[in-house]
Structure 1
Amino acid sequence: MIDSHIHADTRPYEDFGKMAIAGIETAITCAHDPLRMTTSDVIFDHWYRLLNNDVKRAAENGLKLYAAIGIHPRSISDDFQRALDELPSWLEEDLVVAIGEIGLETASESEKYVFKRQLQLADELKMKVIVHTPRTNKKEITKITTSLIEENIDPSLAVIDHVDNSIIEDLIELDAMLGLTVQPQKMTAADAIFILDEYGFDKFFLDSDISSSPSDPLSVPKTVHKMKLAGFLEKNIQKVSYKNVFKFLL
């Protein structure tokens, strides 16, 4: 199994062992807002931790960790242009598989600018992007998000994450992959299974988005278990818990 979206820097050492024991072989840790990003130096320290400290902690527990590096909409510093200028050099690191997690939180002008510039960079590099959708005003902001994607990058390079029933109809025809985040306060395993049963398996990833918010590091294997109990074909379970992510990001 692959957990396609986590925030390893917020999790205790023991979580990586639990994930590996449960059958998760690989995870993608994404940049986010673990601290108050007052300057670009804080952002750089955050990226460094993801690619060094957390990769090491995961490996010691048998979990292969890759990273998505980018400027999260909640971590835009006053000197964000410096971070944008330095981002390409960070993307050259071997373990970086995408620009992310990027997107919009409130759809402010600064968020839209930073998101647009990162999309344009990804399009230039033909690099994948992991795109955030917020908890608040989700439907309205996701519409702005998808418009910016379509204007600035081939949508087939994007995975739009934290998709739920409120936005699935707006996204299902978009030529992008879609992430189903099974996490307390976001989506239950039953919610994810309902979407998969309704819309198929080819466009979806499963992820836990484990962070400092209420989280379950085993939500992907638990969802896989429930899919098996519900009688889903093994090939379809493999698509959403491993093959789609492997083909798209790794």
Structure 2
Amino acid sequence: MIDAHVHADTRPYEDFEKMAVAGIETAVTCAHDPLRMSVSDVVFDHWNRILNNDIKRAAENGLKLYAALGIHPRSISEDFERALEKLPSFLENDSVVAIGEIGLETASESEKNIFKEQLQLAETLKMKAIVHTPRSNKKEITWITTSIIEENIDPKMVVIDHVDCTIVNDVIDVGAMLGLTVQPKKMTPDEAVSILDEYGFNKFYLDSDMSSSPSDPLSVPKTVHRIKLAGFNEKDIRKVSNDNAAKFFEL
């Protein structure tokens, strides 16, 4: 199994062992806003921690951890231009498989401009992009997000994450990969099963988005268990729990 969106820097050492024991072999940890990113140096420290600390912590517990780096919409520093300038050099690390997590939180002009710049960078570098959708005003901001994606990058290079029943109809035909985030207060395993039952397994992968918010490091295997109980075949289960993410990120 692959958990395709985590925030490893906010989790204790023991969570990686729990994931490995439950059958998760690989995960992708994304840049986010663990601190107040007041200046770009804090952003750089965050990226360096992911690359130099969290990947090692996961490996010591039998979990292969890859990274996505970028400027989250909640981590825009006053001197964000420095972070944008140095981002390409961080992306050269062999463990980095995508730019992310990027996107919009409130759809301010600053957020939209920085989102566009990072999508254009992904397009230039032919890298995948992990795109955030927010909890608040989700439907409206997702519509703006998809419009920006379509104007700046081939949607096939993008995963739109945190998809739930409120926006799935709006993103199903965009052409992007879609992340089903199963997390307390976001979506239950049974809600994920309902989406897969209606829309099929080809366009989705599962992730936990485990962070400092209410989280479950085992949400992916628990969801796989619910999918099995619902009677779906092993091929489709493997698609959404492993193969789609592996193919998208070329793992």
Q: Which runs of 4+ in 1 moved over 2 A?
A: none
TM-score, normalised to structure 1's length? 1.00
Matching residue's letter, 2:18:
K
Gaps of 5+ in 1: none
TM-score, normalised to structure 2's length? 0.99
Match of 2:70 in 1: 70
Deviation at 1:134? Answer: 0.1
Matching residue's letter, 2:110:
S
SS of alignment partner, residue 201 of structure 1: coil
Matching residue's letter, 2:248:
F
Match of 1:226 in 2: 226
Deviation at 1:52? Answer: 1.1
Distance in 1 of aligned mates of 2:163 and 2:228 = 22
Are 1:44 and 2:44 matched, yes or no?
A: yes
* Aligned Cα root-mean-square deviation (Å): 0.4
Distance in 2 of aligned mates of 1:127 and 1:4 = 16
Distance in 2 of aligned mates of 1:246 and 1:59 = 18
The residue correspondences of 1:199-214 to structure 2 (distance < 5 A) are 199-214=199-214
Match of 1:188 in 2: 188
Alpha-carbon deviations, 1:50-80, whole Å to 9, x = none?
0110001100100000000000000000000
SS of alignment partner, residue 52 of structure 1: helix
Deviation at 1:143? Answer: 0.5
The residue correspondences of 1:72-221 to structure 2 (distance < 5 A) are 72-221=72-221
Are 1:235 and 2:238 matched, yes or no?
A: no
Gaps of 5+ in 2: none
Distance in 2 of aligned mates of 1:170 and 1:5 = 21
Match of 1:58 in 2: 58
How many residues are aligned here?
A: 250
Deviation at 1:14? Answer: 0.3
Deviation at 1:46? Answer: 0.2
Distance in 2 of aligned mates of 1:193 and 1:178 = 14
Match of 1:35 in 2: 35
The alignment-based identity, stated in percent, is: 77
Distance in 1 of aligned mates of 2:31 and 2:113 = 18
Match of 1:22 in 2: 22
Deviation at 1:198? Answer: 0.2
